[in-house]
Chains A and B, each alone.
With several copies, the nearest count.
Chain A
């Protein structure tokens, strides 16, 4: 399975059991991408990491 990187349009090979919401680094441009939907797999730039706060 593979998908296109939204940043550099490179093609990224993905694991068969890719999870919804999983973070995938783009091997070409290094951008951090998020699996925003499955079948078909769509990747978007992952949101910034925010500090951990919850109880």
Chain B
């Protein structure tokens, strides 16, 4: 089982990705595709006059301040990307099935009752927040879809016990799915070649990263979104996924290239 996470960032050519996936699926490789949606959500928010606001937590993580209106914009933008991916894959003969973590309780989590944000040195509590953790994956649902020939394409939402849709981190979502399915490989595609020793120097690409150095890498080497990818990698490896690859989503055949050893392999 191969779980692939594709970001919503600009510069990623979905047709290359979908062609590559279609070929691998045709050769019998079971695949689950998990996508983000940040770029689309930002654009849509601006167009609707509700631009995104990002908050930085005291521990340095940035995330989208997700009030109800932002959540609804996030749900629309990620649903559009989901449908576009399903459209392209079905056009290539793949029996793609789009859903989100909300549907059938695929990804169950807890809504954060409050979030702390740092603004010019001052820490504030934010309440109307619709983000959440991922505590449980409805594995039976995924296996039912996979065993009946569907290729699940998952949008980054979880659902609370009260049925609330929750904005979740795509990398962590993909990691939870990979762990639940005991996947051999979790492939995190991004718009760089992998993890660099000193970003953005391409020649400092780390090709192999033992899992024991993950914590160090995420503290010292990674910035912004890459930090979250490494956290996702850690979750997956700890839960039994054999390897995590941080690959280049911009390449001609992004999945095959990564499986052939390009990018940062974490084992």
Check A55 against B112 for contact (C-beta < 8 Å).
Answer: no
A55 touching B168 in the complex, CB below 8 Å, given contacts A22-B123, A23-B124: yes
> In this complex, which of B113, B114, B156 has the most chain A Cβ atoms within 10 angstroms of its Cβ?
B114
Closest beta carbon of chain B to A31's beta carbon, Å: 14
User: What residues make up the interface of B, taking CB atoms closer than 8 Å to A?
Assistant: 36-38, 57-59, 61, 63-64, 66, 74, 109, 112-116, 119, 122-127, 129, 131-134, 156, 167-170, 172
Closest beta carbon of chain A to B45's beta carbon, Å: 13
- The tally of CB-CB contacts under 8 A between chains A and B is 66
Residue-wise, chain A 38-55 has the 8 Å CB interface mask toward B (1 for contact) of: 000000001101111111
Cα–Cα distance between A54 and B115 once the two chains are bound (Å): 10
Check A23 against B116 for contact (C-beta < 8 Å).
Answer: yes
Closest beta carbon of chain B to A51's beta carbon, Å: 7
User: B125 contacts which chain A residues (CB < 8 A)?
Assistant: 21-23, 34, 46-47
Other-chain contact of A54, B37, B127, B168 (Cβ < 8 Å)? B168
Cα–Cα distance between A21 and B119 once the two chains are bound (Å): 12
User: A51 contacts which chain B residues (CB < 8 A)?
Assistant: 133
A29 at the interface (CB under 8 A from B): no
Check B58 against A54 for contact (C-beta < 8 Å).
Answer: no
Other-chain contact of B169, A19, A34, A55 (Cβ < 8 Å)? A55
Show 23 residue pairs from A and B whose CB-CB distance is below 8 angstroms, ordered by the A residue: A19-B119, A20-B124, A21-B125, A22-B122, A22-B123, A22-B125, A49-B116, A50-B112, A50-B113, A52-B59, A52-B61, A53-B112, A53-B131, A53-B172, A54-B63, A54-B64, A54-B112, A54-B115, A54-B131, A55-B36, A55-B37, A55-B38, A55-B156
Cα–Cα distance between A22 and B118 once the two chains are bound (Å): 9
User: A47 contacts which chain B residues (CB < 8 A)?
Assistant: 113-114, 125
Check A21 against B124 for contact (C-beta < 8 Å).
Answer: yes
User: A55 contacts which chain B residues (CB < 8 A)?
Assistant: 36-38, 63-64, 74, 131, 156, 167-170
Closest residue on chain A to residue B66 by CB atoms: A54
Cα–Cα distance between A43 and B133 once the two chains are bound (Å): 28
Cα–Cα distance between A49 and B116 once the two chains are bound (Å): 7
Cα–Cα distance between A49 and B113 once the two chains are bound (Å): 10
Closest beta carbon of chain A to B119's beta carbon, Å: 8
Cα–Cα distance between A51 and B169 once the two chains are bound (Å): 12
Closest beta carbon of chain A to B166's beta carbon, Å: 8
Closest beta carbon of chain B to A50's beta carbon, Å: 5
User: B115 contacts which chain A residues (CB < 8 A)?
Assistant: 50, 52, 54
Cα–Cα distance between A50 and B63 once the two chains are bound (Å): 13
Check B123 against A54 for contact (C-beta < 8 Å).
Answer: no
| CB proximity to B under 8 Å, residues A1-55 | 19-23, 34, 46-47, 49-55
Cα–Cα distance between A53 and B63 once the two chains are bound (Å): 8
